[in-house]
Every structure is written in structure tokens, then in C-alpha cells.
Amino acid sequence: MPKQLFEMTAHELAGLLAARQLSARELTLAVQERIGAVEPELHAFILLTPDLALGQAEAVDRARSAGEPLHPLAGIPIAIKDILCTKGVTTTCGSRMLADWQPPYDATVIDWMSRAGLVFVGKANMDEFAMGSSTENSAFGPSRNPWDLDRVPGGSSGGSAAAAGADCCILAIGTDTGGSVRQPASFCGVVGMKPTYGRVSRYGLVAFASSLDQVGPITKDVTDCALLLGLVAGPDPLDSTCVDREVPDYLAALRAEVAGLRIGVPREFFEYEGVRVDEPVAAAVWDAVRRLESLGATWGEVSMPHLRYLIPTYYLIAPAEASSNLARYDGVAYGHRTRRAVSDIVDMYRKTRDEGFGPEVKRRIMLGTYALSAGYYDAFYQKAQQVRTLVRQDFMRAFADYDVLLTPTTPTPAFRLGEKVEDPLRMYLSDVCTIPANLAGLPAISVPAGCSGGLPLGLQIIGRPFAEETVLRVAYTYEQAAAWGRQAMPVSEVSGRRAVVQTAS
């Protein structure tokens, strides 16, 4: 059976569009039809933007007819995490606080994607203010995993990953503070990449933890990831932490070639506080190591002793930054304001924030405020920043001997809805394999690594700062060698309460 349009990758479709065998309008309609069929069960989106999408698609078709030069991704439908500001289009960040907010400006990545002619199909669901690992913290209800509707798609960019995994878009974009692109990509059987901190502009990305947040692509294969990263990466005068550094041709880095590559396998990623990652998850990583070894790479085990302090370090730094960033939601300049009677302005702030924020956001604001408060700053926040230095040093030592590190993306495949909601600490532990790259600011990708019990697994590849090309090359080589690309990757069909996964045969 030939592939449906919505199942295809951007680089496949780009050829058809350029050859005028397909119009952007036809492609957009095909994707919208797919969304119509599965969205009622999947709930990947907070807002669908069908008119905006068709307008953008028709503009691309007109430009092509007029012979104007177009970006290779012009006319390709993309799902946008609802944390990126879209001018005049409601941007909720998964929160009641911003339920009706229409930003007066575009995020830089939105502006660049818009100029390149990408087609915005909708704003994807997410955990409130990107705090969570399952989308269960969304004020607008959770998304479902396209491989099993009783399971979570991961988070916080769970809507983006579910949309990509269920072919409700060709490309998706998310943000990653402690794994929010890679963990859901792994759970939904797609590729997700967090670039080096400073590689992509954060302007117009609703801030969670500013020293950790980074925008990243969620795509159906590594080639599409390279294409989208190439578009959104690069210096931006509107973000002073966005590094002024040339963007390489990431597509040119995609050679199936790892001869001489040195792979480190850090043992701390396989066990945290005595809990080992699931056996099939570990087996998938070792399988990848052996495949790459057979292609000429060498490998060795490495130890990163300070990773055992990962969870406290991250869950002090991120909430501390969040408590400061989220102080802006005070019911004055934009967003929700209480309608209850108030005695004074502080009472107005407190009632507004009580109504606008959900339980996890309140918990993290409380934790962060406490960690920054007088008398506890040194013991908690300062201490966590010092341990962050030790974690970075562990990585730098590992990268003296190795070019990339191979690890699981998550300790388990997708878990069930409701399984961890009541126990915040257990939920936090689902990010143990992804957090290290955020603390150290390193580029890291998750690529599909087979299935266990009908659920996708992820392989994580971590590289040196700004070594996206190496990370992409290794991911591409593995993707080609493992050959579960998109062919063997089951295409999920949502029917009734369960997703029926058809294996290609």
C-alpha cells in the first residue's frame, strides 16, 4: 500500500512539492483530514488553526507558481507547542492563567518558520508551563499516547510528540528544560532533539527555567530533524543568550559513517538510587552500541559519579528559576485576574495566582521560593549550582575520551495515565536520563530504538557543546543500520479506545 501523504516525512514531501506533483494546500488538507479522524481520541492539540494553515499553504502555492525561491520546508505542516508565542493566536502554555491570551508578537522561531513558509496546523498540548512529564498537568486535559491510548505521550511537549507519532503533522516543535522534547519523542516513537543551550533563540518562548530551556525539533526521522534544526538555529539579537555562531549545514552531516568514533556508555544512566532501567531499554542501548561497533566505532564504559545527585540538583535549580519567572503572572499586564472581591493588591495577586495555576505549578513555585528564601539560599540553591558544576565536569571528563555518549532516553516505556500523578517525586524520576544534558547545556537526541510490549523505546545520543553535527551523524547512522526507520515503525491507527498498531509487513 503506498504511503498516505500524512505518513510521509518533510524531506520526501519537499521533493513532491518542488516538482509540483503536490500542492501545499492538498498536503495541508490531507493532514487536517488525519487530525479530524484521530484528534477526538488523541487530544494532541489545545487549538487547531485550520484557516491560518490553509492561508499559509495557499501563499506558498502562489509563491511557487510565481517562481519565487522557497525554503525546502515551505508548505510543510507543523504542530507548535503552545509555549511559543504566536502573534494574534491564543498561546495558553497549558495554563488557565493564559487561557485567553493572544500575544502581540511572534517568538523568533515562529517568525523564522513563518517566513520559511511552514504551515501551522495548531498549538499542541503540554504540561502547564512545561512542568511535567505526561501532559497530565495541562489545564486542558491530557493527551494520549498514539501507541496505546491508556498511556501518556510523555511531557511536557507531549502534544507535539503525540501529533508527530500519530501523523497529525509532518513536523513538530517543542521545548526541553529537563527532557521535555526527548522523553515524549521516545514515548511516541519519533525523533526529538534538544540542541546545545544557546543554539536556538528563546525569544518569545514562555520562560520556565531560563538557564535550561531550549527549543527543539520533534520529527519522524533524523533527516527531518536536521532540516528543522537548520531553520530554527542561529543567533538572534532579541536573545542575548543565543550564541553568535555560524549554523553549519546539518543536512551535510548526515553520512552513515562512524569509523573511528569513540562511544562512551555512562553506567549511571542505567541505575538511579538502586532502581535499574527496564531490561528492554538497556538491551536497546547495548544493541545500538554493538551495531555502531560493527561499523567501525569503538566504545568503553564511563562513570559519572555526580549524576547520583541529579534529581535534587535539577529540582532545586529549575523551580527556583521558575518561581522567579512566574512572578510576572500577577493579573496586571496580561493573563487571568480574579473576579472575586479583593482587600488590597497583594490579595488580588494571591487570589489571581490561586485561580490561575494548577497544583504542580504551585508546588514548584513553593519549592523554588523556599529554596531562594533567606536562610535556605546557601543550603539549597547555591549548593545545587555547585553540584551543577560537578555534573558538568563529569561530562567534560567523559568527553576527553569519547566523542558521544549513548544512554537510554527514559528508564521505562510510556507509563499509564494516572500512574504517577499522586507522587511528584516518582514523576520527577522519569526524567533521570534526560536532565543531565540540560544541566550541562549539551546537545542530545532521542531516536526510536525498537519496541517492547508494543511500546516504543528511545536511544539517547549526547554530544559536546555545539557538536550537533556529530550527534546527528551518529543518530543517522544508527537509524539507517537499525532499519526500523519509518518502514518498520508501526503506523498507529486510532480506533475505539485503543490504538491498533499495524506492523509493516
Partner 1 sequence: MPAARKREQVRLSKEEVEHVALLARLELTAQEQERLTEQLNSILDHFQALSELDTSAVPPTSHVVEITNVFREDEPGPCLTSDQALSGAPDRVGDTFRVPRVVE
Give the residue numbers annotated as catalytic, written as ranges. Answer: 81, 156, 180
For residue 456 the three cell numbers come to: 516504543
Shortest reach from residue 365's CB to partner 1, in Å: 5
Shortest reach from residue 130's CB to partner 1, in Å: 18
- Determine how β-strand 77-81 pairs with β-strand 119-124: parallel
- Of 56 and 214, nearer to partner 1 (C-beta) is 214
- Of 187 and 428, nearer to partner 1 (C-beta) is 428
**Residue pair 410/186 in contact by the 8 Å Cβ criterion:** yes
- Could you give the CA distance from residue 107 to residue 86 in angstroms, rounded to a whole number? 7
- Could you give the CA distance from residue 218 to residue 460 in angstroms, rounded to a whole number? 14
For residue 99 the three cell numbers come to: 487561557
Shortest reach from residue 60's CB to partner 1, in Å: 26
Enumerate the β-bridge partners of residue 122. 48, 79
| Residue ranges in 19-107 assigned as alpha helix (H) | 24-42, 50-65
**Residue pair 39/32 in contact by the 8 Å Cβ criterion:** no
Residues contacting 47, CB < 8 A, separation 6+: 82, 89, 90, 92, 122, 123
- Could you give the CA distance from residue 367 to residue 362 in angstroms, rounded to a whole number? 8
- Of 24 and 139, nearer to partner 1 (C-beta) is 139
- Could you give the CA distance from residue 443 to residue 215 in angstroms, rounded to a whole number? 11
Report which residue type is found at 152: V
For residue 343 the three cell numbers come to: 482587600
Enumerate the β-bridge partners of residue 451. 456
Chain residues in the site for partner 1 (CB under 8 A): 101-105, 197-198, 211, 237, 240-241, 243, 306, 308-309, 311-313, 315-316, 323, 327, 330-337, 342, 344-351, 353-354, 357, 359, 362-363, 365-367, 369-370, 373, 379-380, 382-390, 392, 424-425, 440-441, 465
- Of 2 and 104, nearer to partner 1 (C-beta) is 104
> Longest C-alpha distance within the chain, in Å?
71
Shortest reach from residue 348's CB to partner 1, in Å: 5
Shortest reach from residue 383's CB to partner 1, in Å: 5
- Of 298 and 369, nearer to partner 1 (C-beta) is 369
- Of 144 and 336, nearer to partner 1 (C-beta) is 336
Residues contacting 446, CB < 8 A, separation 6+: 181, 182, 183, 185, 186, 191, 192, 193, 409, 434, 458, 459, 460
- Of 373 and 503, nearer to partner 1 (C-beta) is 373
Shortest reach from residue 185's CB to partner 1, in Å: 22
Report which DSSP code applies to 85.
-
Shortest reach from residue 367's CB to partner 1, in Å: 6
